[in-house]
Copies of this chain bind each other. A is one copy, B any other.
Amino acid sequence: MTGPQEHAVVVGAGLAGSLTAVFLARRGYRVSVYERRPDPRTAGTAATGRSINLGLSARGMAALDEAGLLDAVLARGVPMRGRVVHRPDGTTRFQPYGVREHEILHSVLRDDLLRLLVDTASAHPDVSFHFGRTLTGLDRDKGTVEVADPAETVEADLIVGADGVFSAARRHLQHGLRADYAQEFLPWGYTELTIPAGPGGVPRVRLEALHVWPGEDALMVAHPNRDGSLTCSLFMAHEGPVSFAALRDRAAIHAFADAAFPDARELMPDLADELLAHPVGRLVTVRTAPWRHEDRVVLVGDAAHAVYPFFGQGMNAAFEDCLVLDACLGRHPDRGTALAAYEAARRPHTDVLADLSAANFTELRARVHRPGYVLAAAADRALSRLLPHRWVPLYTLVAHTTTPYADALARVRRQRRALAAAVTVGTAVAVLAARLSLRGRAC
């Protein structure tokens, strides 16, 4: 950047906002981050929301690596080498994530990650964080934001909306424009539960794996923590016969858990207390356009696209946004062009991610323990071992590569078509050969 130092305001010090601050400072901006919540480094978990852990995969790692943070993050996480599927009869099956060594995920605590990001960004002399300050207005043409407590108008050359799924920055950015906007809620919600470590910090289940309890009516996923415990997300309908609303007392909760997760129940001594005390979160998909206004305002992360968590990609996609935005700012000296290039490069792919994440709900809910799914997954793995460069499973492309989401989907569709064609030709040849041999015999 030439000329006087430009000022960037980042709205939201969540995962995307903090990483964006790091990248913008590196590009020479003076950066002010305004965050509604208190400082996560001093406030403890209660103030930052929930104690949850997230699965970090290739896209998120690539972005953290670019920011020089990957090693520090991995040192705080637990590798997950595959998925342990728990069946209703209490038996389990381990499905490795990939066939190659590096194809693993990492379970990281959101708060740990956030503290590291905020620490790193605020170590930069040009970055300042302002906690407990809520965005209340934004003038997209003047380039100003209004923040509350105390009320103040802040001028900026660039405003980055990183304020999550119900983004106020987005609302102000799009106000009065012909903006497309679609939100869709899943009838299911989620809550966090715990599988504590056993005596002496010994994990009660295989630690270096993601645990899944699939089910039509309720499903649970557990990520490991470094202290030997696992944090579970329980997903089920908000209302109805099997639902959060129906689990009103201990008896109902225990009967439900006995039926749905017989082997998990004994691992979760606090199940009923947690279920009765913890809030139930909502799951929403948001697709919208535009993500930017001229050279002044741009959205990243959940503010730009929210997806159901069933592919474990929300944070990863948010980090990838930051990386692509940074690359576009580097490539195009004109910021309007850079922001347009960023939106054009990202939006088609996050729209596809929304579809994939919704499709994976069906998958996780029902098919993971069905013979058909197991067979298909085994075939996927076998084919990718046989044809390592030509056959790559969709999950591998999404979780273990940085192939843009839409390209990953297109590639898998091509693979499937080629396989179908090969099977058809193969069958035809076999039938022909059989006929010829029959004829040969008949003569």
Task: Enumerate chain A interface residues (CB-CB to B < 8 A).
Answer: 178-185, 187, 238, 282, 284
Give chain B residues whose Cβ lies under 8 Å from the Cβ of A284: 178
**Chain B nearest Cβ from A237, distance in angstroms:** 11
Q: Looking at the complex, which one of B180, B185, B187, B282 makes contact with A183 (CB distance below 8 Å)? A: B180
Q: Point out the residues of chain B lying under 8 angstroms from A180, CB to CB.
A: 183-185
A155 to chain B, nearest CB (A): 29
A181 interface neighbour in B179, B181, B187, Cβ under 8 Å? B181
Kindly report which residue of chain B lies nearest to residue A182, judged by CB atoms: B182
Q: Which of B178, B181, B182, B238 contacts A238, CB < 8 Å?
A: B178
| B183 pairs with A183, CB closer than 8 A | no
Bound complex: CA A443 to CA B187 (Å): 71
Residues of B within 8 A of A179 (CB): 183, 185
**Are the CB atoms of A182 and B185 closer together than 8 Å?**
no
- Whole-angstrom CA separation of A238 from B238 in the bound complex: 43
Closest 5 CB pairs of A and B: A178-B185, A182-B182, A180-B184, A181-B183, A178-B282
Please report the C-alpha to C-alpha distance between residue A179 and residue B183 in the assembled complex, in whole angstroms: 8
* Closest-CB distance, A211 to chain B (whole angstroms): 28
A184 to B287, CA, bound (A): 11
Q: What chain B residues lie within 8 Å of A282 (beta carbons)?
A: 178
Give the interface SS of chain A, mostly helix, strand, loop or mixed: strand
A167 to chain B, nearest CB (A): 15
**Chain B residue, CB-CB nearest to A238:** B178
A134 to B98, CA, bound (A): 60
Besides the contacts A181-B182, A181-B183, what 10 more A-B pairs have beta carbons closer than 8 Å?
A178-B185, A178-B187, A178-B238, A178-B284, A179-B183, A179-B185, A180-B183, A180-B184, A181-B181, A182-B183
- Chain B residues lying within 8 Å of A183, measured Cβ to Cβ, are 179-182
Separation of A187 and B184 alpha carbons in the complex (Å): 23
CA of A187 to CA of B179, assembled, Å: 10
A63 CB to nearest chain B CB (Å): 30
**Distance of A397 from chain B, by nearest CB (Å):** 29
| Chain B residues whose C-beta falls within 8 Å of the C-beta of A182 in the assembled complex | 181-184
- Closest residue to A181 on the B side, CB-wise? B183
Give the residue name and chain of the B residue nearest to A179 (CB).
B185
- In the complex, A183→B238 CA distance in Å? 25
Which residues of B are found within 8 Å of A187, using beta-carbon distances?
178
CA of A282 to CA of B179, assembled, Å:
11
- What would be 15 A-B contacts, judged by CB atoms less than 8 Å apart? A178-B185, A178-B187, A178-B282, A178-B284, A179-B183, A179-B185, A180-B183, A180-B184, A180-B185, A181-B181, A181-B182, A181-B183, A182-B182, A182-B183, A182-B184
User: How long is the Cα–Cα vector from A108 to B46 in the complex, in angstroms?
Assistant: 62
* Distance from A183 Cβ to chain B, minimum over Cβ atoms (Å): 5
Least CB distance from A236 to B in Å reads 14
Contacts of A238 in B (CB 8 A): 178
Q: Which of A178, A180, A238, A282 has the most CB of B within 10 A?
A: A178
- Which B residue's beta carbon lies closest to that of A183? B181
A94 → chain B closest CB, angstroms = 36
- Cα A178 to Cα B244 in complex, Å, equals 15
Distance between A412 CB and nearest chain B CB, rounded to angstroms: 27
A184 contacts across to B, CB distance below 8 A? 180, 182
Alpha-carbon separation in the docked complex, A134 to B22 (Å): 47
